[in-house]
Chain A
Amino acid sequence: MTALSGLTIIETAERVCGEWTARLLADFGAEVIKIERPGGSPTRRYGPHVAGPDGKDGSVFAYCNTNKKSLVFDLDSEDGRAMLAKLLEKADALVDDHDEDWCAAHGLDAESVRAAYPGLVHCQITPFGQGAPKDRRKAWPINVANAGGWAWHTPSESAAGDVPIYGPGRFLQDFDSGLDAAMATAACLYDQRRTGTGRSIDISEVQVQLSRADIVIGRVLAGDDEPNTGRRRYDMGGPGDVFATKDGFVHLYMTTSRHWNGLREIMGMPEWAEEFPEDWLEFHCTPDRVAVFRDHFRAWVAGEERNDVSLRAQKLGVPLVPVNDAADLSANEQYRHRGFYQQIDGTDYPGVPYRMTASPAQIVSAAPALDADREEVLS
């Protein structure tokens, strides 16, 4: 039994953002019944197809649908919609990520759902939110990243000719949107437990992107920072960056004289560093100085090993850290200590970032085969 045990959530989502929302709720023991179209969820297409009992299932589907049940209905048919209605009568929440036209055509717009199931929490995730102009109702994650401003400013210190980058893979924006959607849904379910109130939740994926940059965009809106077309408006201007080591990369972040003094010590008090005022990071952090620093530091750190130099830095309170890849994290002693990876059938699943003393999140079952739970759910 964990935090959301006893709650039933119907998932009609067909994109990763909605699937991820329901997975976050399923992590805490909510019963999530996933409605798949005949042939399966469109997200089953995402490769590599190396998961599941035969090693042929899509890995993204396998990752985003643990702890769930699968039921196939055709929501384009009367029968399918009648079956969904039956499930919704007994459910606590509905998670959906279809566009408004689809929802209206299937009787799943906010108003119809509210009228039919007043006690239900209904979460809808769309690129620009409900009521967006007709031509802003479909977007892929790369579009969300670009429309929401992060791509324009990624990587940091991009020049005008550098291609904006959308992220580390295909689903960053979906995962971030799912987090806000799960949070809002869980909050409304909490009040539903207390008072029986149902609610409609309208999540805008692009607004999630804006919210994640609140202190940057807030200052731009207020005029503390001029809004402009520069690629560096989100940057911080300090010497922080990725640097190559002998065996990979480290990231250095440095803003205080304490950081600077610690770093000098690790570097063995080099002579070139004497020319920097002790408080240069606080009060004299000019682009020239940053460039000179980086040249020297780059040359020095290239001869170091990433984990060793990071450890020495951390002991002096300098935020110098390794740039980890998937293998590093799999072996990371802290991740292992906290149990970040949870195993099902001998495979490591990245778990959740919160350890909870009373109601831990648990991945207990692999993603369902298509229609695997028909009998159990309908009986």
Chain B
Amino acid sequence: MSGVRQRGGPLAGVRVLALCKVWAGPYAAKLLAALGAEVIKVESMSALDEMRAYGGVDIEHAPYFISQNTEVLSARVNLKSDEGIAQLKEMIAHSDIVLDNLRPGALDKLGLTFEAMQAIKPDIIQVSIKMYGTEGPLGYQTGYAPSFAAIGGLTYLTGHEGRAPRGMNIRYGDTTAGAAAAFGAIAALHHRERTGEGQLVDLSAVEAISSLVGDRLFEYALTGEVPQHQGNFHAELSPHGAYPCADNGWISIACDGDEEWRKLASELGEVELGQDPRFASHAARIENRAALDEAVGKLTASCNSAELATKLRAAGLTAYASASSLDLAVDELFWAKEAYRMVENGNGDVRPVVGPSWSISPDGAEVSRGAPTLGEHDDYVYGEVLGLDEKEIARLKESGAIS
């Protein structure tokens, strides 16, 4: 028997069927796997996850795909064949959660509405990730991470003062939506454990983004004034910003109160600046913050960002260099904390991946296997989970239902 190993973790014993593509859905699936759930990714040669094609020489070595599908199992199901659909229904009958981020209506077209899934498994939990949710006046619309960020209010509120809003980096958005979906799935597990009842968790990716700017939306609800993007402004901390350093580096510095500000001025070698009446109080520093930022930036400009940050922290201040991809890659703390870890992929390669943000003890889930090859777990899923014999599995492969 091929079997799959027991990895432990708080979600051990929970089975997730993932009909997910690109980023938000697979990210949610990966997080649930990192908490110990058994995640079966339903795939097919006839409807590949686009990530298996991006930037790779072949579907088993596609860099995006193998960067994210850690500890996920892969079973082939051809959803274009009736027999494939029948097998998918069998899998639903053996699952706790069905997670999907397919286009609005795609599952319905396969006859897999939530009600149909409930008929197959009465306590099933369906978690659906759509840009605007599963229904409603704008429910038909689709988009990608930067679309979520724009609709959800993040883009309007992010940018340099005096320039047009630009939003967070274009990659921001999918993963937060996926994380919100994973959290919704776990809440639904609690409800099922307590009452025996399953449910539909209908996630709106744009609302997940709005939750990241909820304080600004709430501000609007209270004041009626539309909040605007403000660069690195912080109403309670000053100075507060990213300041230029040598070799195009940057350092982030935040001071809380007059004492920290005076200490910063002194550490930067300009004790007198700490006494400058324009910057004597927090209110004055906010009032004169353009001048303040310029004065601080002049003093940081010749320093190495990492060295200056270390020096300022040693003095009790809060300062960190702005990290480039190179800085991130070489930070030993991230390896020590297993934020980065080596995993073995289904294709046999050993590869570094970004792990979860948590460590859990005792009994955190083991995370050591990387992304699966297409259909790597066909025999496990059809044989052990569904209980089909070898002959029947061979027949399904022959007929194209498993392909």
CA distance A337 to B207 in the complex (A): 12
CA gap between A217 and B355 in the complex, in Å? 11
Residue from B157, B221, B339 within 8 A of A204 (CB atoms): B339
Interface pick from A41-49, A73-81, A270-278, A287-295: A41-49
The answer to whether A219 and B67 have CB atoms under 8 Å apart is: yes
Neighbouring A residues of B318 by C-beta, 8 Å: 138-140, 143
Q: Are A48 and B354 neighbours in the complex by a CB distance under 8 Å? A: no
Binds A, one of B40-48, B83-91, B178-186, B380-388: B178-186
CB contacts under 8 Å to A, within B60-101, are 63-64, 66-68
The answer for the CA separation of A6 and B204 in the assembled complex, in Å, is 27
Nearest chain-B residue to A242 (Cβ)?
A: B166
When the two chains form their complex, are residues A324 and B175 in contact, meaning their CB atoms are under 8 A apart? no
Pick from B105-113, B269-277, B321-329, B392-400 the stretch touching chain A: B321-329
B121 to chain A, nearest CB (A): 15
Is A323 engaged at the interface, CB distance under 8 Å to the other chain?
Answer: yes
Within residues 132 to 190 of chain A, which ones have a CB less than 8 A from any CB in chain B?
132-133, 135-136, 138-140, 142-143, 145-156, 160-172, 175-177, 179-184, 186-190
Minimum C-beta distance from A154 to chain B (A): 5
Tell me which residues across on chain B come within 8 A of A129, comparing CB atoms. Answer: 337, 359
A24 within 8 A of B: yes
Residues of A within 8 A of B137 (CB): 333-334, 337
A156/B169 contact (C-beta < 8 A), A326-B153, A326-B219 known: yes
Interface residues as binary, A307-326 with B (CB distance below 8 Å gives 1, 0 otherwise): 00000001001010111111
Contact A190 B250, beta carbon cutoff 8 Å: no
- Whether A379 sits at the interface, judged by CB under 8 Å, is no
The one of B146, B158, B177 in contact with A167, judged by C-beta atoms closer than 8 angstroms, is B158
A33 to chain B, nearest CB (A): 19
With A and B bound together, what is the CA distance between A179 and B208 in angstroms? 10
- Beta-carbon contact of A203 and B357 below 8 Å: yes
In the assembled complex, A194 has its CB within 8 A of some CB on chain B: yes
- Closest chain-A Cβ to B367's Cβ sits at a distance in Å of 12
Instruction: Please tell me if the beta carbons of A171 and B339 are within 8 angstroms of each other in the complex.
Output: no
B222 touches A149 (CB 8 A): no
CB 8 Å contact bits of B291-322 with A (1 = contact, 0 = none): 00000000000000000001001100011111
Q: Is A330's CB under 8 angstroms from B186's CB?
A: no
Q: Determine whether the beta carbon of B165 is less than 8 Å from that of A338.
A: no
Does any Cβ of A come within 8 Å of B280's Cβ? Answer: no
Taking CB atoms and an 8 Å cut-off, the chain A residues in 319-368 that contact chain B are 319, 321-330, 332-335, 337-338, 340-341, 347-350, 352-359, 361
Alpha-carbon distance A163/B229, docked complex (angstroms): 14
Residues on B with beta carbons closer than 8 Å to the beta carbon of A153: 169, 171
A48 contact set on B, CB distance < 8 A: 219, 222-223, 235
Q: How far is the CA of A186 from the CA of B188 in the complex (A)?
A: 10
Chain A interface size, as a band, is 35 or more
- Closest residue on chain B to residue A23 by CB atoms: B214
The answer to whether A199 and B363 have CB atoms under 8 Å apart is yes
Interface string of A230-258 (1 = CB under 8 A from B): 11011110001010100001110101000
Query: In the bound complex, what is the Cα–Cα distance between A181 and B321 (angstroms)?
Result: 25
CB-based contact B169/A154 at 8 Å: yes
A168 B157 Cβ-Cβ under 8 A:
yes
Neighbour of B356 across the interface among A155, A211, A350, CB < 8 A: A211
Question: What residues of chain B lie closer than 8 Å to A168, measured between beta carbons?
Answer: 153-154, 156-158, 168, 212-213, 216, 229
Q: Hey, which chain A residues are within 8 Å of B147, CB to CB? A: 251, 253, 319, 321
Q: Are B175 and A50 in contact (CB under 8 A)?
A: no
In the complex, A194→B333 CA distance in Å? 35
Q: Is B3 an interface residue (CB 8 A)?
A: no
Q: Are B150 and A333 in contact (CB under 8 A)?
A: no
Q: Which residue of A lies closest to B314 (CB)?
A: A135
User: Chain A contacts of B190 at CB under 8 A?
Assistant: 3-4, 28, 186, 189-190, 193, 359
CB distance from A323 to the nearest CB of B (A): 5
Q: Which one of A100-108, A220-228, A369-377 is at the B interface?
A: A220-228
With the chains together, A367 CA to B213 CA distance in Å? 18
Given A46-B236, A183-B183, A214-B175, check contact A200 B158 (CB 8 Å): no
A358 to B160 Cα, complex, angstroms: 43
Instruction: Kindly identify which residue among B169, B199, B211, B339 contacts A357, using a CB–CB cutoff of 8 Å.
Output: B199
* Contact status B169-A202, CB under 8 Å: no
Q: A146-B320, A166-B232 are in contact. Are A59 and B219 (CB under 8 A)?
A: yes
Query: Pick the contact of A4 from B171, B187, B244, B254 — CB < 8 Å?
Result: B187
> Is there a chain B Cβ closer than 8 Å to A261's Cβ?
no
> In the assembly, what is the distance between CA of A64 and CA of B207, in Å?
17
B30's nearest neighbour on chain A, judged by CB, is A214
Give the most central of B218, B240, B314, B319: most A CB within 10 Å. B218
Interface centre among A156, A341, A349, A361 (most CB of B within 10 A): A156
Q: Are B199 and A207 closer than 8 Å at their CB atoms?
A: no
Shortest CB–CB separation between residue B319 and chain A, in angstroms?
Answer: 7
How far, in Å, is B106 (CB) from chain A's closest CB? 14
Q: Are A150 and B188 in contact (CB under 8 A)?
A: no
A143-B318, A146-B321, A179-B179 known; A47+B235 contact, CB < 8 A: yes
Distance in Å from the Cβ of A40 to the closest Cβ of chain B?
15
Question: CB distance B313 to A146 under 8 Å?
Answer: no
Report whether B180 and A354 are in contact in the complex, using a CB–CB cutoff of 8 Å.
Answer: yes
Which one of A199, A253, A332 contacts B143 once the chains associate, using CB atoms below 8 Å?
A253
Do A146 and B323 form a contact, CB below 8 Å, given A136-B333, A229-B248, A358-B191? Answer: yes
Are B358 and A162 touching (Cβ within 8 A)?
Answer: no
Given A214-B175, A329-B210, is A165 in contact with B231 using a C-beta cutoff of 8 Å? Answer: yes
Q: Which 6 A-B pairs have the closest CB atoms?
A: A218-B67, A168-B157, A155-B166, A353-B207, A251-B150, A326-B220
What are 5 A-B contacts defined by CB distance under 8 Å?
A: A47-B235, A151-B250, A186-B187, A249-B165, A353-B180
